[in-house]
Structure 1
């Protein structure tokens, strides 16, 4: 029987800086200190909650990966409860050592402890390895989450409006009615002068 070198524990405030390195790609933009401060807040909030956890995986005593677990619903419209495993990440040096499997096992155990029948997660669309790993664990695609800046979406929505709407927001029928009215008003004084 082989002894696993992977151990799991709840995150501690002292982990914030190292987790900021692990999750740098998925955290809000900012310098390392701001990201670590965000994570410290998340770790402290999770420590006092029954429906949230930040789980750290250690490999032979070193932080190797982590996952944020929270109880939510399948969607805002489907109120079936689910445990969402947010950003199960493993440092590159510790991949293929069972760390990711241990993190996802912690999500399943958390769901089982709470009597929740579903586990959900997300993998970056461009991460072939992560998506294959999740598929091997029987996690299939449920939806595609698409994200863009508010400004970018507003620009595209504006560009795709019909041209009459882009020009002052008036409908074509309103524009045509205004033109007819202007022509009628222009024609009236001339007719009155002759008669």
Structure 2
């Protein structure tokens, strides 16, 4: 049985089409050319910044996985520095070949090179295998990051309001019934003379 070689390198803009395929469920909804353009910008931005890096792992010369690394703080409230490993992802055909370990090794090396004590991984909550892998590496869950379209959130937190004029007949009937109940209660409360 021959062993294939794993190579770690920094991504280049030419990797964008393969990265778009790898991260397709994490990108904005657009056609593939726009997603490729987005990833070219991400890769170029990472190349220009000492606090960001897009790392790819090649398995026998083929791009097998990637991770976006960035230096930030644990949260906007906790200013302890950390390295975020955003969407470490491996193509299905390259799983169980050490690619994921190599990606996380790159994250640890990036943190060590910058004197940072913590690595945070952002992985899809529904990916059972990925979450188990992270747990085996000692990366514990800390928070659940949730998302919703603004319109959905607005509809759930604001009371439903009827447009002016809609249901005005029903509103008048309810108001008339309340008035009748009040009048009846007042008559019953009056002492008889």
Does 2:84 correspond to 1:84? yes
Q: In the TM superposition, what whole-angstrom CA distance separates every residue of 1:117-136 from its partner, at most 9, and x where no partner exists?
A: 00001221111100000000
Deviation at 1:68? 0.3
Unpaired runs of 5+ residues, structure 2, are 164-174, 180-193
Compared with structure 1, are the counterparts of its residues 118 and 4 closer, same or farther at alpha carbon in structure 2 (3 Å cutoff)? farther
Deviation at 1:3? 6.1
Provide TM-score, normalisation by structure 2.
0.81
Instruction: Give the corresponding residue for 1:39.
Output: 39
Number of equivalenced pairs: 164
Deviation at 1:140? 0.3
Does 2:69 correspond to 1:69? yes
**What root-mean-square deviation, in Å, do the aligned CA atoms of Structure 1 and Structure 2 show?**
1.9
Instruction: Give the corresponding residue for 1:147.
Output: 147
User: CA separation in 1, counterparts of 2:137 and 2:57?
Assistant: 18
User: CA separation in 2, counterparts of 1:53 and 1:3?
Assistant: 28
User: CA separation in 1, counterparts of 2:56 and 2:126?
Assistant: 24
Provide TM-score, normalisation by structure 1.
0.80
User: CA separation in 1, counterparts of 2:97 and 2:3?
Assistant: 12
Stretch of structure 1 that moved more, 121-130 or 57-66: 121-130
Q: In the TM superposition, what whole-angstrom CA distance separates every residue of 1:30-72 from its partner, at most 9, and x where no partner exists?
A: 0110000000001111111100000010000000010000001
Instruction: Give the corresponding residue for 1:134.
Output: 134
Deviation at 1:4? 6.0
Deviation at 1:5? 1.5
> Which structure 2 residues correspond to residues 1-195 of structure 1 after superposition, within 5 A?
5-159=5-159
SS of the residue 2:26 aligns to:
coil
User: CA separation in 2, counterparts of 1:123 and 1:63?
Assistant: 20
Deviation at 1:13? 1.2
User: CA separation in 1, counterparts of 2:162 and 2:18?
Assistant: 52
User: CA separation in 2, counterparts of 1:118 and 1:24?
Assistant: 28
